[in-house]
Amino acid sequence: MAVMRDFLGEALRSSGICADCRFSILLAASEACANVVDHGFPAAGYQVDARLRSDTCVLEITHRGRRFNPSRVPLPDLEAESGRGILLMRHLMEDVAITGEPDGTTRVRLRKRLAECAAAPPDHGEWVAPQPVLR
């Protein structure tokens, strides 16, 4: 996850995304990737795709492992040390979509509006990060 955070963080910073938005995006992405690592057994790895426009950042975290059904996630136990990742992602991002496919592929799509950023990057079309597979 450190490679993803470093790479994505630098891409967001160099694109002029404000610190508050960078924090929200990186924390939500870290939570999504941590869920893959903790609950996606036997996931061999995951892929993070990023699309950045002047007003929106969209991340898609994809992995194959145990099929995930987001409707079966219980409410978080506020006394527990973990279990609030999805709730946190939904608080930080404007849109969180989690889909589980019959073949075991799970996709987590995170979308953050950047309009509130004081210095949103100019719209030069779509920026797409290289698509490394992180293991």
DSSP one-letter string for 2-52: HHHHHHHHHHHHHTT--HHHHHHHHHHHHHHHHHHHHHSTT---EEEEEEE
Domain range for 130 is 2-134
Q: Kindly tell me if the per-residue pLDDT of 13 is higher than 60.
A: yes
pLDDT of residue 22: 94
Task: Return the CATH number at 11.
Answer: 3.30.565.10
Helix (H, G, I), strand (E, B) or coil at 1: coil
For residues 97 and 110, give the distance between their C-alpha atoms in angstroms, rounded to a whole number. Answer: 7
Q: 105 Cβ partners below 8 Å, 6+ apart? A: 62, 63, 64
pLDDT of residue 51: 94
Residues paired with residue 105 on neighbouring β-strands, in sequence order: 64
pLDDT of residue 84: 79
- The whole-model pTM stands at 0.77
Q: Kindly tell me if the per-residue pLDDT of 135 is higher than 50.
A: no
The string of pLDDT tens digits covering residues 120-131 is 455 545 555 555
For residues 85 and 62, give the distance between their C-alpha atoms in angstroms, rounded to a whole number. Answer: 16
| Number of folded domains that form the chain | 1
Give the number of residues written for the chain. 135
pLDDT of residue 95: 96
Bond into 70 cis (ω within 30): no
Phi/psi at 111 (5° precision): -130, 130
Q: Kindly tell me if the per-residue pLDDT of 8 is higher than 80.
A: yes
Q: Kindly tell me if the per-residue pLDDT of 20 is higher than 60.
A: yes
The string of pLDDT tens digits covering residues 58-116 is 999 998 877 666 677 777 777 777 667 888 999 999 999 988 888 888 899 999 998 66
